[in-house]
Amino acid sequence: MTRKIIIDTDPGQDDALAILLAFASPELEVLGITVVAGNVPLALTELNARKICELAGRPQTKVFAGADRPLMRPLVTAEHVHGKTGLDGPDLPEPAMRLQDQHAVDFIIDTLRTKEAGSITLCALGPLTNIAHVLIRAPELAPRIREIVLMGGGFFEGGNVTPTAEFNIYVDPHAAQIVLQSGVPIIILPLDVTHKALTTAERVERFRAMGTRAGDASVALLEFFERFDEEKYGSDGGPLHDPNVIAYLIKPELYRGRLCNVAVDAANELTLGMTVVDWWRVTDRPKNAFYIRGIDADAFFDLLIERIARLP
Ligand code: RIB
Ligand code: CA
């Protein structure tokens, strides 16, 4: 039984690898890709999503543009990390496939309404603006969502865009609050786990050895994307964030975490976007998220590499 997913994304080199992994994995059925402003503005993230679909040999995939800005905050982007196109590294051709006319939020709402209740998983790889819009406009649909699996937040590891905040949550903390308070089962893959999944030289060489279009593009994506974090952390390779969302769906046994309360600061400038994780359960706040801290990093890269090697 394949798992039906919608990927909400702001590509983004790491988003690209997550989407490639999803397409290469028969356990998953990608019903559509919804795009949000984040790493770069919406006009670029939607173009990048279509480029990635064609790179994967999946031009029939439905790509929907969504929110071009956060719920309340001004848009903050990350060209310094992802390059001015948001997908710097490989030289991918202009896509022939077109963008869907329907708005991303309408697509998610329609899909939740028409598919079997509890059969749809939302995979969030960027700011949570689109998903928050769904929950604001149609709160009655929350019980129909099987799970929201998201890359975002950080607690023991601190932040990556401020000392306390991770980028996806920081860009739209109000959207994150709405998602965390929705009552939908939530799985969080934060910096605490993605910082243990480093794109070391040895691992990048395994992509290069594929000798495929997807393998070569992955090398170019990783070598561009990792440079910023190698410089920042002085590490061999950079943390690979978004593919962990998809890998979790395929092999959850690679991960370790616990159900606990996760809250977001959406009010204070100093700690805006901070995910406050009650890991030691010192409060009686509701255990609203499965927060992941542990990973078998070697097995994660084995999975990612084995699957992407299946692509043309
Ligand atoms: O903080 C990492 C996250 O922000 C990843 O999703 C990356 O693509 C950026 O969106
Ligand atoms: Ca992303």
The rounded Å distance from CA 11 to ligand 2 centre is 6
Q: Give 259's strand partners.
A: 290
- The distance of Cα 308 from the centroid of its chain, to the nearest Å, equals 17
- Give residue-wise pLDDT tens across range 156-207: 999 999 999 999 999 999 999 999 999 999 999 999 999 999 999 999 999 9
CA of 284 to the centre of ligand 2 (A): 32
Each residue's pLDDT tens digit, 27-48: 999 999 999 999 999 999 999 9
pLDDT value at residue 237: 93
Taking the model in full, what pTM does it have?
A: 0.98
Q: Across residues 60-84, what is the average pLDDT?
A: 97
Q: Over range 207-233, report the average pLDDT.
A: 95
Atom of ligand 1 nearest to the CA of 168: 4
Bridge partners (DSSP) of residue 237 are none
Neighbours of 24 (CB within 10 A): 21
**38 CA from centroid of ligand 1 (Å):** 8
Probe ligand 1: pick from 77, 167, 191, 233, max atoms within 8 Å of CB? 167
Q: Is the pLDDT of residue 280 over 90?
A: yes
Task: Report the mean per-residue pLDDT for the chain.
Answer: 98
Ordered DSSP codes for 235-298:
-SS-B--THHHHHHHH-GGGEEEEEEEEEE--S-TTTTTBEEEETT--S-----EEEEEEE-HH
User: What pLDDT shows up at residue 183?
Assistant: 98
> Taking a C-beta distance cutoff of 8 angstroms, is the pair 99, 125 a contact?
no
| Catalytic (active site) residue 241 | yes
Can you tell me which atom of ligand 1 is nearest the CA of 127?
10
As for ligand 1, residues whose beta carbon falls within 6 Å of it are: 10, 12, 14-15, 38-39, 125-126, 151, 160, 166-168, 241-242
Q: Which atom of ligand 1 lies nearest, measured to the CA of 161?
A: 1
- How many domains is the chain built from? 1
Q: What is the mean pLDDT of residues 101-120?
A: 98
Mean pLDDT of 138-163: 98
User: CA 234, CA 121: separation in Å to the nearest integer?
Assistant: 36
Active-site annotation holder among 82, 174, 195, 241: 241
Contacts 24+ apart (CB under 8 A), 250-255: 250/21, 250/25, 250/27, 250/28, 250/303, 250/307, 251/299, 251/303, 254/295, 254/296, 254/299, 254/300, 254/303, 255/189, 255/193, 255/292, 255/294, 255/295, 255/296
Ligand 1: nearest atom to the Cα of 191: 1
Structure tokens at 163: 């000392």
Instruction: Report CA(75)–ligand 1 centroid distance (Å).
Output: 14
Q: How confident is the model at residue 1 (pLDDT cuts 50, 70, 90)?
A: confident
CATH number at residue 105: 3.90.245.10
The domain of 255 spans 3-308
